[in-house]
Structure 1
Amino acid sequence: MADVLKRDLRLLFPRTGGVDLVASTADFETVEGRDNLAQALILRLLVGRGELRTLGHPRYGSRIHELIGEPMDGPNRELLRRYVRRALMEDPRVEEVTRVDVLPRKDAPGVVMVEAAVRPATGAPLEVKVEIDVG
């Protein structure tokens, strides 16, 4: 199964934003299998669609960034759900997106928790969670 879901460098997604590599004493850490797929899906959601165009990946990413500054009312939460679902389905390792929930954080206006469940091409269903600041 790890071959199908692949291997990559392990990334750290700090709450302050951005992404960083995780290093051990000898080398950079890697992630494989289901953990790699979960990491790849989170990264796909956080990268703006078209942001990697100059690297040869014009359709990679999501449209979530288009909602920055918009109120997270019912219609925009539904739009966010659709953007998440579409981005997740664009990964060839995902057979189906079975659930996408957008949960506003009451303690942090403009911040939402996105929780999704996907059915990978192989193996059991996988949960993906990412916090997004659209404020």
Structure 2
Amino acid sequence: MRAPQLLTDIAIDVHHRELRPVYRINTQRKWVLGGEALALDMATISDRDNLGQAIIIRLLTPRGELAALGHPQYGSRLHEIVGRTNTASTRDLARLYILESLQQEARIDTIESVAITPSPGRRSSIDVSIDVRPLGAVETLTIGPIVLEI
């Protein structure tokens, strides 16, 4: 059985390991038909890579941010833990908010694991690693570790 299509989107470049909106659209320089001019072309990303990127964007977007566009449940509540002390209960809350957000993604069959640990040497950060199994896939997709400032 062929795995369902996991879609194609514009590719973003991750410029930092931190989970924060510091991404840029991935562009490539291409010669325009006839070779008279150089133009920028947006790169695309597909399948498993697209799902990984979509998960990061979903986690970065505060829940309710897209309500005016008809997507009130899109996003996560991770922004609600910013400013809290890095304790076991805060890390548990981060894990809960990530699980809530991932359950909204229709292309995920199973959430295999969400690991949250204190960032070594950084009191106000946590490391997040996520393993999911896309619909119709046998292998898991790993996102992270990424750093979340709290």
* TM-score normalised per structure 1: 0.91
CA distance in 2, matches of 1:12, 1:3: 25
Is 1:105 equivalent to 2:105 in the alignment? no
**Structure number with higher strand proportion:** 2
Determine the structure 2 residue equivalent to 1:81. Answer: 95
- What count of residue pairs does the alignment treat as equivalent? 134
Determine the structure 1 residue equivalent to 2:11. Answer: 10
- The C-alpha deviation readout for 1:4-43, integer Å capped at 9, x for no partner, is 2000000123227422101000301110010000000011
Deviating runs (4+, > 6 A) in structure 1? none
Checking the alignment, whether the CA contact within 8 Å between 1:115 and 1:128 is kept in structure 2 is yes
**Structure number with higher helix proportion:** 1
Determine the structure 1 residue equivalent to 2:37. Answer: none
- The C-alpha deviation readout for 1:39-61, integer Å capped at 9, x for no partner, is 00011111110111122211100
Structure 1 gap ranges (5+): none
- Alignment RMSD, CA only? 1.6
Q: What pairs with 1:1-135 in structure 2 (closer than 5 Å)? A: 4-15=5-16, 17-18=20-21, 19-26=23-30, 27-123=41-137, 124-129=139-144, 130-134=146-150
* TM-score normalised per structure 2: 0.82
Q: Which has the larger radius of gyration?
A: 2
